């Protein structure tokens, strides 16, 4: 399983603001959302809490892949692309419930499995 390059993993620890999660529907129409409830589960998995997904959830159910775009405190952008696993129970879900604010519902844990990584236009993986 591909893992985040060390540079990207360190950059994640310094990301600022919300990330942008993008999925596509069956007709290949993209849908992007700002996500503030995010975490790195391990070097192969970034997790976004499903607090208020609508179109995003439809796209996940349709088998969409996804990308997460984030920016660091130094204004360097990184994009992580991969397949999605959706969890409503188990270790990933339990972990999400630990860091997702209680004021949000946390319906599920959307796990992006790393397949490609970019720093700006430079492909790192």
Q: What is the pLDDT of residues 11-61, one digit of tens each?
A: 999 999 999 999 999 999 999 999 999 999 999 999 999 999 999 999 999
Task: Note whether 90 and 76 are within 8 A (CB).
Answer: no
Contact, 51 vs 105, CB < 8 A? yes
**Total structural domains in the chain?**
1
Q: What is the CATH number of the domain that holds 51?
A: 2.30.110.10
* pTM for the predicted model, two decimal places: 0.95
Residue 124 lies in a domain: no
Domain assignment present for 1: no
Q: Is residue 38 part of a domain?
A: yes
Is residue 124 over pLDDT 90?
Answer: yes
**Backbone dihedral angles phi then psi of residue 75, each to the nearest 5 degrees:** 65, 35
Q: 């060390």: which residue's tokens?
A: 6
Domain membership of residue 21 as a residue range: 6-119
For residue 35, give the 3-state DSSP assignment. Answer: strand
Rounded CA-CA distance 62/58 in Å is: 6
- Residue 125 belongs to some domain of the structure: no
């Amino acid at each position: 399983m591909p893992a985040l390059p060390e540079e990207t993993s360190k950059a994640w620890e310094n990301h600022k603001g919300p990330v942008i999660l993008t999925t596509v529907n069956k007709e290949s129409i993209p849908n992007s959302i700002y996500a503030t409830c995010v975490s790195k589960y391990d070097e192969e998995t970034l997790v976004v809490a499903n607090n208020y997904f609508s179109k995003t959830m439809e796209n996940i159910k349709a088998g969409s892949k996804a990308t997460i775009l984030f920016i660091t405190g130094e204004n360097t952008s990184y994009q992580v692309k991969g397949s999605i696993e959706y969890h409503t129970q188990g270790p990933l879900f339990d972990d999400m419930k630990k860091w997702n604010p209680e004021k949000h519902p946390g319906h599920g844990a959307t796990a992006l499995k790393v397949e490609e990584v970019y720093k700006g236009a430079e492909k790192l993986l």
